[in-house]
Amino acid sequence: MRDGALADGRAARWILIALAVSFLILFLVLPLLAVFTEALRRGVMAFFTAFDDPDTWAAIELTLLVAAIAVPLNMVFGLSAAWAIAKFEFPGKSLLITLIDLPFSISPVVSGLVYVLLFGAKGLLGPLLDDWDFKVIFAVPGVVLATIFVTFPFIARELIPLMQEQGTSDEEAALTLGASGFQTFVTVTLPNVSWALLYGVLLCNARAMGEFGAVSVVSGHIRGLTNTMPLHVEILYNEYNLVGAFAVASLLAGLALVTLGAKSLLEWRHGDALARVHRH
């Protein structure tokens, strides 16, 4: 076949490959390289002194904290939502599916504004929170809430199609063999979706660390307190501290690359299971 029908298209094939590769280089590889070269422009020492700044460390810590709260919570939410949707019939199911997709379809800035309107000083619940002396907006809880909202669909979306395809026979088999509901969930449902769940967690984590829009609205950009890494990059950049900005940016990019690497490794080792997820 290689010498047959497709041989005539050899020139066309090379042109298409060249187009795709140059597109990749221009729009993905070069910007990524630029981030690292900018960060190292003044030498390795300058790169590391950028991390001497306590505000930078505060931003890194806050980013890790937010991800450490948002990702496990969304794992629980996503798993329960996917389980309910895939294994049971109930009224309002399609509404729930639409709601899960909501954070994907609206702009992150709008999601941030929603929280300001809800929890802000002049917001719906503002006076109540004021009485309790609890700050959500321009404080860490707001950043966490906004991140949870924006990253909510990642895990659920990953699990729903797989769980739907697997159906309920495996669970029913476990029940007839005497397993309790909880045993069934732990020994049958969870292992059946474990790779898809890990994949969803990776994507969710990448987005939780990188989220800018929604977090920007609710954080108030207080240095050392409510700045996450993406927000800190913007502040440094606006102050013309290019090395600092790109140093933090390179750290973010590094995290993204690690996530991508882990994702590719998963796809390579468990391609069949994940392919089933992504057929949709």
Contact status: 179 vs other proteins (CB under 8 A): yes
Show the tokens assigned to 186: 């732990």
For the CB of residue 83, give the shortest distance to other proteins in the complex, in Å. 17
Contact status: 31 vs other proteins (CB under 8 A): no
- For residue 278, the surrounding DSSP H or E stretch is none
3-state secondary structure of 253: helix
Contact status: 271 vs other proteins (CB under 8 A): no
Contact status: 172 vs other proteins (CB under 8 A): yes
- For residues 132 and 182, which CB has a smaller minimum distance to other proteins in the complex? 182
Alpha helix positions (H), 53-166: 54-87, 93-105, 108-119, 126-131, 140-166
Contact status: 17 vs other proteins (CB under 8 A): no
For the CB of residue 175, give the shortest distance to other proteins in the complex, in Å. 4
Cβ atoms of 227 and 166 closer than 8 Å: no
- For residues 87 and 223, which CB has a smaller minimum distance to other proteins in the complex? 87
- For residues 170 and 234, which CB has a smaller minimum distance to other proteins in the complex? 170
From the list 144, 153, 127, the residue with the least C-alpha distance to 218 is 144
Contact status: 94 vs other proteins (CB under 8 A): no
Q: Rounded to whole angstroms, how far apart are CA atoms 154 and 73?
A: 12
C-alpha separations of 224 from 54, 57, 106, 140 in Å: 7, 8, 29, 11
For the CB of residue 178, give the shortest distance to other proteins in the complex, in Å. 5
For the CB of residue 184, give the shortest distance to other proteins in the complex, in Å. 9
For the CB of residue 95, give the shortest distance to other proteins in the complex, in Å. 18
3-state secondary structure of 279: coil
Question: Which residue of 164, 192, 241, 259 would you call a contact of other proteins, by CB under 8 A?
Answer: 192
Cβ atoms of 85 and 93 closer than 8 Å: yes
For the CB of residue 187, give the shortest distance to other proteins in the complex, in Å. 7
Q: Rounded to whole angstroms, how far apart are CA atoms 25 and 22?
A: 5
Distant-in-sequence, close-in-space partners of 101: CB < 8 Å, separation ≥ 6: 153, 157
- For residues 171 and 211, which CB has a smaller minimum distance to other proteins in the complex? 171
Site for other proteins in 152-171 (CB under 8 A): 169-170
Contact status: 177 vs other proteins (CB under 8 A): yes
Q: Rounded to whole angstroms, how far apart are CA atoms 135 and 137?
A: 6
Summarize as ranges the residues that interact with other proteins (CB under 8 A). Answer: 169-170, 172-180, 183, 187-188, 191-192, 194
